[in-house]
Amino acid sequence: MSKKEEEMKKIKQFIENCKKCSLWKMRNKPVVGTGSSDAELLFIGEAPGSNEDLQGKPFVGRAGKILDELIESIGLKREDVFIANILKCRPPDNRNPLKAEINACAKYLDKQIEIIKPKIIAPLGNFACSFIFEKYGLKFDKIGNVHGKIFQVKTNNSKVKIIPLYHPAVVTYNSKKKKVLIKDFEAILKE
């Protein structure tokens, strides 16, 4: 087991025992994240849904199938990337995350980013985009104005590309958005 894998295992244990907000009382399984701890590409969603809560894995429902197709459209597989959420526990009735819940949970995602050291971070949807833009000191307007654009940011020792994307669930409500997402995913391949 590599040092990164060991560190990710420690984070998983912290998340499994976390009681920093009330969401732990309602969850079935925390959703830590899945994929390669050496991934160059990190996808970040908002919070687990009901399927994710039952399985303990991110993006396993309808939106997950769409995300898998999009990942494959750029020649990658799910195991080549890392997929996480801001919140590690499902909010009741899939409601929007509360600021206090985000504040309680964000340190786990921050630590995952620190361990993985991705070259590209692709936040999915408004909440994830807003969170990542704030974290890296970027001005966030709304997803409709920034999706598919590339933002370069400097971290301590490297550069990271931020590529905001619509949440894959948008396709379940508006099938025309799939073409937009496919085009936006092509930005991931640009150097």
Say which residues have a Cβ less than 8 Å from residue 64's Cβ, sequence separation at least 6. Answer: 51, 52, 58, 168
> 140-150 pLDDT, tens per residue?
989 999 999 99
pLDDT tens, 21-35?
999 999 999 999 999
156, pLDDT greater than 80: no
pLDDT band at 128 (very low <50, low <70, confident <90, very high): very high
CA distance 158 to 118: 10
Euclidean distance between CA atoms 177 and 168, whole angstroms = 9
% of the chain with per-residue pLDDT over 90: 93
Asked whether the predicted pLDDT for residue 16 surpasses 80, the reply is yes
Which two tokens mark 91? Answer: 């909010």
What per-residue confidence (pLDDT) applies to 184? 95
Q: How many domains does the chain have?
A: 1
Give me the pLDDT at residue 191, please: 59
Judged against a pLDDT cut of 90, whether residue 18 lies above it is answered with yes
- CATH code assigned at 92: 3.40.470.10
* pTM for this prediction: 0.96
Q: Is the dihedral of CA 42, 45, 48, 52 positive or negative?
A: negative
Domain that holds residue 181: 3-189
pLDDT class of 1 with cuts at 50, 70, 90: confident
CB-CB contact of 66 with 78 (8 Å)? no
Buried-state track 38-64, b at ≥16 Cβ within 10 A, e below 16: ebbbbbbbbbbbebbbbebbbbbbebb
Mean model confidence pLDDT for the chain: 95
In the chain, % of residues over pLDDT 70: 99
Using CA atoms, how far residue 169 sits from 58, 59, 67, 69, in Å, is 13, 10, 9, 13
Q: What is the pLDDT of residues 162-173, one digit of tens each?
A: 999 999 999 999
